[in-house]
Structure 1
């Protein structure tokens, strides 16, 4: 429920502060006073419209819609929705920023704006939801739940089957590609660390001539060993250091000589060719280890493709079984709906007739199986499709549909009605007023009124006036209400008869 609303610096309004209650709230006043400006500001605070105002603020009691909670907005006892315009528009809930797209998506079903032909109430999906709400049968609810679960399983398994069918269509080409990739990796047969070892050998080969030259020089030094040791004997010096030096030198010379002889067994052209092969593998897969992992993965994928026919056959059987189960539930659901279709149609017709409209005809057609069954509903008012009704007729037809199943509607919502009783006869105006009053049992309703009947039935009545290009709004009661209703009846020159009529309207009981 909207508890309060504030608007600042909005066209002819400097500031307006309003407090609301559950029930039917009506705004009336002379044409051009600013009634629609207030309504638009109310919608703007919920991201459902734009406004030239600097501030539009609505205080909403009760729990926030689930979508807002999932978006991370924290619920408060009183939730404050703000539309703020500075350099650009900013929307906040309890001080937390939110995008207009996210806010409007969350509030569209919670705040119903009944203006022109902008809703989808007469669409097949909404009509079906209305019929199910009207039936409100335990068997229907259970069957719908069972179908919903089964259909999800069916869709999941059918998607899996379609994927396999697509894979099968592409299988031959894909198998050929996998064979090629596997053969290429296996023909090269890379080993982890092989490239590093070959690079090391290539480096040694590139230094072989220089190493041989240095080895030759060092071998010349080695031939001086006997002379050096003889010198140490002659001078009586310690020869241990010299002996150790020559021993280490000879070990290095022998080791280097062996390595050089080993290098003679390598073919540099073969090494370069092998490195080029390994480089192509590394370039394609990112490394030798990754190439070996890809080889294993491609072998598994090839095996799956080779067994795809068997897998497809098994899944086809599962899909058929699930579809049969879904169709059985959908047929049962359709049977339940058809039993109540005439009562549903009669109920809508009863409200349409109270609104001085023709009876309706609802038809059940079969559609493609979905989570809600195989039923698609269509409606005609008289012999007219809803889309071809006039704007006024369309609004009244929407009101009639909203009345159906009202007692089963446990979710209290907000209904904002523009020009509900504009350009209609007195009888039609009275019927619209009584319908909105009836709807206010389950909706908090805000309506602009141009006729005395709706104004007389309001739980709260606000008068909007404009003086010297400045608009003001205030709640009116008792005598003030009677005078405003009399003004609506007789115009600016209020007659005694109009006042008496207004007082009579205010005393009349409401019965839809």
Structure 2
């Protein structure tokens, strides 16, 4: 249970520090006072919705099963949200992500809002029947979990098969395209570094005549070589440096002459054509290396296309085997669900009878196969379509499902948070809701917003939420005399009548007699 809640700077609330008791806790007050804002703050601490406060902290007692999520259990456990530079959640000083907080709190917090209709989603209904089954056959949940893993693997294999079958239909086009690209690259047959070499040749060709003329003119230096050596000898200067320089220069000229001779043999048109083809390859693939890598990839794909029939055959066998296992396990799960469907129906109808609602009928039909099996659980409320019943009736049906859900899936207790579950009900119907919640509150701590005096009168703890002239919200616990005034206000409005006071007292007296 939640023992204490502290909130600072949360929308209309500047600060509130509330201590809670066990059982049913009700919040009432004028419209717009901040009741839903307060509940939203509490829910946001557990990851449901955005947090608008600077600080939210809750103290929780009892074993919450934190060890399963990697957190050390303490007494009490402190859940905290802080908004500094970054919004952060903590459990007993250990940081936790918002997603992690939702997954953890889902094991002991259940929330039902006026806008929520998730109780009738097939996944939620199947989760409920699985909880009923597990209460009688604990290994059922293990079978459901194992089936989910099996179905994921089956779906993966089936998707691969569908992909390869789709690929097979266009494989001839793919093979032709792969061959075409390989042939185009082979036609050019580029070599790594060839592009740079060709550009060098092209540059040399463009300067060939100038180089030849300059070399012919500069070659006269070799005719004067002996004269320079003679001078150096006469002036008694070692000529070895000059000899080395001339030898190096001679090698440069010889190498260049070889290049010029090679250029004489080059077909300029072929060179330019080769450069253009290499340039086109680079434009398409980025570089010669990438073109060759692409060719290798296409060759591997071509080899795979040639083996696609074998791959398809192997996948078909794997899918058939997996599908057989999926069908057997889903059938086993379905049979267990059908076995305990009457128990679920009976429990729901027990709650519905207490809520002055007609009995419902449950049926398991075969639907689309998914990770939960092929079952589709349908709810029929007599001859009435659930979508056409009044909001008050709809809320009572949802309460029956919520109570049953918590009976089977939150067996160790927990926290229920309800938003105006008794809205749009008559006094008799509202009292039936109050009685069901009162019964549930012996096992669960329930937080409820209410505008009806019946539910508020049976609460173990009653808080009044108000808003002052500065539009700041406040929450305060009510004592018996204060509760009488608030209950009377809920009956007659802001101008409390004597009759309303009498009725309020009778509600509290009836509570005390129970």
Which bracket does the TM-score occupy, shorter chain normalised?
Answer: 0.7 to 0.9
1:291 maps onto 2:288 in alignment:
no
> Which whole-Å CA distance do the structure 2 matches of 1:91 and 1:250 have between them?
78
What is the aligned counterpart of 1:505 among 499, 503, 510?
510
TM-score, normalised to structure 1's length?
Answer: 0.81
Following TM superposition, by how much is the alpha carbon of 1:109 offset from its aligned partner in structure 2, in angstroms?
9.0
What is the aligned counterpart of 1:38 among 35, 39, 45?
35
- What is the SS of the residue equivalent to 1:192? coil
Partner of 1:444: 445
Q: Structure 1 residues 283, 363: CA separation in 2 closer, same or farther (over 3 Å shift)?
A: same
Give the conservation status (yes or no) of the 8 Å contact 1:25–1:446.
Answer: yes
What is the aligned counterpart of 1:474 among 473, 476, 482?
476
Q: How does 1:275-286 map to 2 (within 5 A)?
A: 275-286=275-286
Partner of 1:382: 382
Give the conservation status (yes or no) of the 8 Å contact 1:4–1:60.
Answer: yes
Q: How does 1:22-171 map to 2 (within 5 A)?
A: 22-28=22-28, 32=30, 37-44=34-41, 46-47=43-44, 57=56, 59=58, 61=60, 77-81=77-81, 93=89, 112-136=110-134, 137-171=137-171
Following TM superposition, by how much is the alpha carbon of 1:143 offset from its aligned partner in structure 2, in angstroms?
2.3
- What is the SS of the residue equivalent to 2:322? helix
The answer to which of 285-294 and 110-119 deviates more is 110-119
TM-score, normalised to structure 2's length?
Answer: 0.81
Give the conservation status (yes or no) of the 8 Å contact 2:41–2:53.
Answer: no
Partner of 1:367: 367
Following TM superposition, by how much is the alpha carbon of 1:299 offset from its aligned partner in structure 2, in angstroms?
0.1
Following TM superposition, by how much is the alpha carbon of 1:315 offset from its aligned partner in structure 2, in angstroms?
0.3
Partner of 1:419: 420
Partner of 1:188: 188
> Which whole-Å CA distance do the structure 1 matches of 2:307 and 2:447 have between them?
65
> Which whole-Å CA distance do the structure 2 matches of 1:443 and 1:405 have between them?
12
- What is the SS of the residue equivalent to 2:416? strand
The answer to which of 437-446 and 351-360 deviates more is 437-446
Give the conservation status (yes or no) of the 8 Å contact 2:7–2:17.
Answer: yes
Following TM superposition, by how much is the alpha carbon of 1:424 offset from its aligned partner in structure 2, in angstroms?
3.5
- What is the SS of the residue equivalent to 1:26? strand
| 1:94-143: CA deviation from partner (whole Å, max 9, x where unpaired) | 69999999999998997655343532212222111111111212342232
Partner of 1:73: none
> Which whole-Å CA distance do the structure 2 matches of 1:468 and 1:399 have between them?
37
Stretches of structure 2 that go unaligned for 5 or more consecutive residues are 71-75
Following TM superposition, by how much is the alpha carbon of 1:388 offset from its aligned partner in structure 2, in angstroms?
1.5
Give the conservation status (yes or no) of the 8 Å contact 1:134–1:404.
Answer: no
> Which whole-Å CA distance do the structure 2 matches of 1:251 and 1:117 have between them?
92
How many pairs does the alignment contain?
Answer: 491
Q: How does 1:262-341 map to 2 (within 5 A)?
A: 262-341=262-341
Give the conservation status (yes or no) of the 8 Å contact 1:45–1:83.
Answer: no
Give the conservation status (yes or no) of the 8 Å contact 1:40–1:49.
Answer: no
Q: Structure 1 residues 213, 64: CA separation in 2 closer, same or farther (over 3 Å shift)?
A: farther
* CA RMSD after TM alignment: 4.1
- What is the SS of the residue equivalent to 1:59? strand
Q: Structure 1 residues 268, 25: CA separation in 2 closer, same or farther (over 3 Å shift)?
A: same
Following TM superposition, by how much is the alpha carbon of 1:507 offset from its aligned partner in structure 2, in angstroms?
2.1
Q: How does 1:178-257 map to 2 (within 5 A)?
A: 178-225=178-225, 240-241=239-240, 250-257=250-257
- What is the SS of the residue equivalent to 2:120? coil
> Which whole-Å CA distance do the structure 1 matches of 2:286 and 2:163 have between them?
29
Following TM superposition, by how much is the alpha carbon of 1:499 offset from its aligned partner in structure 2, in angstroms?
7.0
- What is the SS of the residue equivalent to 1:21? coil
Stretches of structure 1 that go unaligned for 5 or more consecutive residues are 71-75, 85-89
> Which whole-Å CA distance do the structure 1 matches of 2:349 and 2:312 have between them?
51
Q: Structure 1 residues 335, 33: CA separation in 2 closer, same or farther (over 3 Å shift)?
A: closer
Following TM superposition, by how much is the alpha carbon of 1:374 offset from its aligned partner in structure 2, in angstroms?
0.9
Give the conservation status (yes or no) of the 8 Å contact 1:460–1:475.
Answer: yes
Q: Structure 1 residues 38, 264: CA separation in 2 closer, same or farther (over 3 Å shift)?
A: same
The answer to which of 485-494 and 374-383 deviates more is 485-494
Q: Structure 1 residues 411, 238: CA separation in 2 closer, same or farther (over 3 Å shift)?
A: same
Give the conservation status (yes or no) of the 8 Å contact 1:117–1:395.
Answer: no
| 1:41-97: CA deviation from partner (whole Å, max 9, x where unpaired) | 32145456799x98784535379999xx99xxxxx942234799xxxxx97646999
- What is the SS of the residue equivalent to 2:421? coil
Q: Structure 1 residues 14, 33: CA separation in 2 closer, same or farther (over 3 Å shift)?
A: farther
Give the conservation status (yes or no) of the 8 Å contact 2:89–2:98.
Answer: no
